[in-house]
Structure 1
């Protein structure tokens, strides 16, 4: 009976992981809808960043009050604060500015490095070790992203150089990685859902007044408002419910593999939402980067310990004699 229950929980965890990744993947095209482009700007990236956190903060307040959640312990405030800087401010702000310049498909390739960068931050912050092969895959994936960025800049007539938006995307990946790791530090003790709720509530004294102060006075397209609501409700809040619960039920190592679907889902979602073409170079780059992530994930597992061969007393005496 226990084995059957474990299998059922693992299956449910995998599906919740897929749901969370799917919700996160649509963040890229929805953010581009919300912010618009340089030629046709909509909502300010600052407004989208603060406003989506304020919306999630209001929902989080209702959730915490309804569930009578206790306040975090004193030692939990610092990791939660780091998660605020990484996931509430850093990632959405840098992503919002970048998506005014590059397509959502372009951003999906760069942000495909998120699992590897998160592992690197975990090795530094949490002192986790990985084998040499893992780091070789991380370097290979980074080189693929560099090659893609240079090729894209060349095709756009910018010469063999980087677009400044690529640096913003890299910064967004790093910010998200730090937010994930510091949030993960308190997840076992605080609870998966309460981590993201307290993160959003902590930022609410800043995000809510700033959102009201920056409320747009000019007409904004309905599609931009729809994108804003999506990133506030699903990307900043509900997506984390499914993601962290899936990790708890199905096992972090197993369920984390579903994150490899994110760049493909982002590219596919950009086709109907933004009318972006399915570019062969972008799709090929995404496949190559994800392959390095898959291989790196496998090589990140420690070497299995060699079993110790039991020696009977009679055999030991025979060897000594």
Structure 2
């Protein structure tokens, strides 16, 4: 009887522990995936309002996440993990997507990259406060320098004039930093795919209400470009990109992985030029060189 019980008992899958090189590559893949999020959101806004776009993004991702959890027979998270999962849900699934989508109504994708310019530093700070692990002084110096370079670059593009969109972006930055840090911490105990899947499913009721409100009050003209953008931000930005991102964080640590995201604003700028026809600022190559040096220092510093 005991043998039969053990045969039918579901087996918990432990998170995979990758080496530093693999972890860095996975985190970089996550950054590359996220770098298309702003241009794809701008595409979705050609046919949907900001509330409709953000809500439908969460609903579609929630359905896919629920199917994944059922297909993989994922066990319910432990009670001690739910607070962290709700932080992931609030920051990465509800707060950041909605606030950045609202900002993109009036702000260009290049300027909105200011959020990503400060997000790596904010994530490292939150992680250090949450876990008590302190990276080296060289790490902090490079992280601050990289964030400053990207911030100065993006502010120069908007002539330094703060707007309501900047407020949305700043608040979105803060809530996302907590979601990244908690997700990276949880991914050391739970597979990263399940961390983001449970976070997306937990937000499904809120996102369904958001989508319903948006569809009721906003005009909808879903052309091919809008549908393609919505599909990307739902499948990749909201769900798929987090799988390598959280797994990479679990392998090399949240602070070190977060600094790879210093390259994201520059990647976003390239996509904005290629897909949206925005101009490439002359300062972009210089900023790219500074950022790459800062990333190299953070990856080589002792965490």
Q: 1:121 aligns with which of 117, 120, 126?
A: 126
Q: Is the CA contact (8 Å cut-off) linking 1:28 and 1:266 kept in structure 2?
A: yes
**3-state SS, counterpart of residue 189 of structure 1:** coil
Residues 9/127 of structure 1: CA separation in 2 closer, same or farther (3 Å cut): closer
Aligned residue in 1 for 2:83: 78
Q: Is the CA contact (8 Å cut-off) linking 2:95 and 2:172 kept in structure 1?
A: yes
Q: Is the CA contact (8 Å cut-off) linking 1:137 and 1:295 kept in structure 2?
A: yes
Aligned residue in 2 for 1:234: 236
Does residue 31 of structure 2 align to residue 26 of structure 1? no
CA distance in 1, matches of 2:165, 2:249: 32
Q: Is the CA contact (8 Å cut-off) linking 1:115 and 1:293 kept in structure 2?
A: no
Paired positions, count: 283
CA distance in 1, matches of 2:49, 2:300: 40
- How far residue 115 of structure 1 moved from its aligned partner, in angstroms, is 1.8
Q: Is the CA contact (8 Å cut-off) linking 1:117 and 1:177 kept in structure 2?
A: yes
Moved more, 216-225 or 194-203: 216-225
Which of these two proteins has the greater Rg computed from alpha carbons?
A: 1
CA distance in 1, matches of 2:183, 2:246: 10
Question: Which TM-score applies when normalising by structure 1?
Answer: 0.76
Question: Which TM-score applies when normalising by structure 2?
Answer: 0.80
Aligned residue in 1 for 2:161: 161
Is there any run of 5+ residues in structure 1 with no aligned partner, and where? 1-7, 37-41, 155-159, 303-321
Moved more, 114-123 or 230-239: 114-123
CA distance in 1, matches of 2:127, 2:55: 27
Q: Is the CA contact (8 Å cut-off) linking 1:53 and 1:236 kept in structure 2?
A: yes
CA distance in 1, matches of 2:157, 2:73: 51
1:159-218 CA-partner distances (Å, limit 9, x unpaired): x63233233222222221100112223222222111001001111122224424432554
Q: Is the CA contact (8 Å cut-off) linking 1:94 and 1:172 kept in structure 2?
A: yes
CA distance in 2, matches of 1:121, 1:230: 28
Q: Is the CA contact (8 Å cut-off) linking 2:43 and 2:226 kept in structure 1?
A: yes
